[in-house]
Chain A
Amino acid sequence: MTAPAPTAPDATPRWRRVRDHPATRFLVVRGLLHTAIVLLGVITVTFSLMLLVPGDPVRIALGTRYTQESYDALRAASGLDRPLLEQYLDYVLGAVRGDLGVSFRNGEPVTHVLLDRLPATASLALAGVLVGLLVAVPAGVYAALRNGRLADAVVRITSQVGVSVPDFWMGLLLITLFSATLGWLPSSGYVPFGEDPVEWARRLALPAVTVGLVAGSIMTRFVRAAVLDAIAAGWVRTARSKGLGRRVVLLRHILRNAVVPIVTIVGIQMATLLGGVIVVEVVFAWPGLGRLVYDSVTARDYPVIQGAVLLIAVLFLLINLLVDVIHTLVDPRIRNR
């Protein structure tokens, strides 16, 4: 790697210089290409889910409501009576356009069903990551600064405990304490923010803490590791030896450099929470995507399962792509590689 040539002072804002840098373009294009390939794979996997169902999915979904007419109608409506290749191409093109077929249960377009559930899951995931950050950043930074001492050991063991707690058990315990015993907070349900912000927050509190404590435990370890790496860097020793104050060294030299790995783990946690809070959503009767997947699995509503799995995987990929782009923007070393 050659050292980047010193650039003359320039009037263009930094973000624009970064954005227009050829390396940024190259990385973004490469990232997009990679994401597109993986996306096609993801669509193919979701498409094949229904093929792998032993027996006839339409017949299984109809169950006791089965009649020849209803069977033929549902098969035709879902396009399952056409050749496989045609179905596949249709599914891929439909997925790109946002058309994911219709629900076996009520004939509603899958896209509508999914978009209905997205706000509940998004608010839970955001609140969870926020709670997690509030736990992880102070705990992780403190543990790293006290590396090897008692406080560090306590934080490490606590985060190990947090990682091992089943989130739905934590949810049950919180309900037992705060709803059933103390009666402070409602144990379940969801109220849209637009309807009643206070009630929205009250109902969000327990699930968000449940999800956030587990996410926070995972993030604490990454924050600690990131800060430890930053502390070990040569420039921190330089900064200290030239007599900079502790605060300046911590804020400008340690935390600033620890931000990149922290952004990564926040992104990963956000993506995980968007698709991984299925059981917590069931415990708190939270009408999000996870709860939808669960209900659809029980009802054998395959198109909705496929749609939800696809949507969550796409969100996951997009967030990862976004994290990569943010990396490129904040870390000049990645650009100049």
Chain B
Amino acid sequence: MTSTRPSTRPSTRPSALRLLLRNRVSLLGCLILAAVVLAAVVGPWLSPYDPNATDVGNALRAPGAEHWLGTDQLGRDVLSRIVAASQVSLRVAVVSVSIALVLGVGIGLLAGYARGAADAVLMRLVDVMFAFPVLLLALAIVAVLGPGLNSAIIAIGVVYTPIFARVARASTLSVREEPFVKASLTMGTGHAYVLRHHVLPNISGPVIVQTSLSLAFAILSEAALSFLGLGVQPPQPSWGRMLFEAQGFVGQAWWMSVFPGAAIFVTTLAFNLVGDGLREVLDPARRTALAAQGGRS
């Protein structure tokens, strides 16, 4: 929103980030996310074992001093595998949501700004995509492209495109009626400039919120696809695949299903918490109220 505010006026409002971190629940989400990202980045150097090293003599060991989270049916260290898998999960989530973001916001901006026939056609296309449940469509796309990491990324990116398109279109429709957009157009500014400098910054709030929530769902979708053997392929570890393998040992090795699932759950929860916090902070009305509260306390 920087470009629409004259730069000479000093901002007295606390930044969105500071407001976000002031909320204890969002702060918790941010901390968890930081930990997950840290684990994904430096984990491979810190993890005690090679995630793919099998040691059949030590198969199905319960959590203990040697293997903190136990070992699986091939004697592989569960903790090291969870850490290694966090990298894959985050990468799939970030790349696929970026695809959805670029495509969806592009479609939404165009539809909301152009209106008329272009809007009608694009939104009917979005309606068609919305008619398919997310995981079903992802599965169909993977069926077409063949299983694998790239197919999963493309599939998840495609299925989350329509929601970004709807969010971007709705915001664009209201922003383009704002006086500053009209004024800019009257002054003869080109449409591309208006879109880039006036519309895009002003629809960024809802889009950022949607990005965080979509990252949460992307983590879940990737886990589901990998669980079904259609996403990340062995021997590369993935949380979903670890859960699939745990199915055969529910009675004997609870740690094989509890810990990888907990990793998916905690990461998803963190993205959801941050998303919800962002929604509060980036909504202008709520933000003013929050800032006022902060000023009083």
Contact = CB atoms under 8 A, between A and B. Distances in A.
A45 B128 contact: yes
B128 A172 contact: no
Nearest to B223: A166
A66 interface: no
Nearest to B133: A275
A168 B229 CA distance: 14
Interface residues of B, number: 44
A302 interface: yes
A309 interface: yes
Contacts of A294: 139, 228
Nearest to B269: A164
Interface residues of A, number: 51
Contact of B272 (A163, A169, A179, A276): A163
Contacts, number: 128
Contacts of B228: 278-279, 282, 294, 297
Interface in B203-233: 216, 220, 223-224, 227-230
Interface string A120-163: 00000000000000000000000000000000000001001101
Interface string B132-155: 111111011011111000000000
A54 B146 contact: yes
**Dominant SS among interface residues on chain A:** helix
A278 B142 CA distance: 14
Nearest to B137: A309
A197 B125 CA distance: 43
B200 interface: no
Nearest to A37: B124
Contacts of B230: 297
B250 A169 contact: no
Given A166-B264, A278-B139, A316 B131 contact: yes
Contacts of B227: 168, 279, 282
Interface of A: 34, 37-38, 41-42, 45, 49, 52-54, 157, 160-161, 163-166, 168-169, 172-173, 175-176, 179-181, 187, 271-272, 274-276, 278-279, 282-283, 290, 293-294, 296-298, 300, 302, 305, 308-309, 312-313, 316-317
Given A165-B265, A282-B228, 8 more contacts: A38-B128, A52-B144, A54-B146, A169-B243, A175-B250, A283-B247, A309-B137, A317-B131
5 contacts: A160-B273, A173-B257, A187-B250, A312-B132, A312-B133
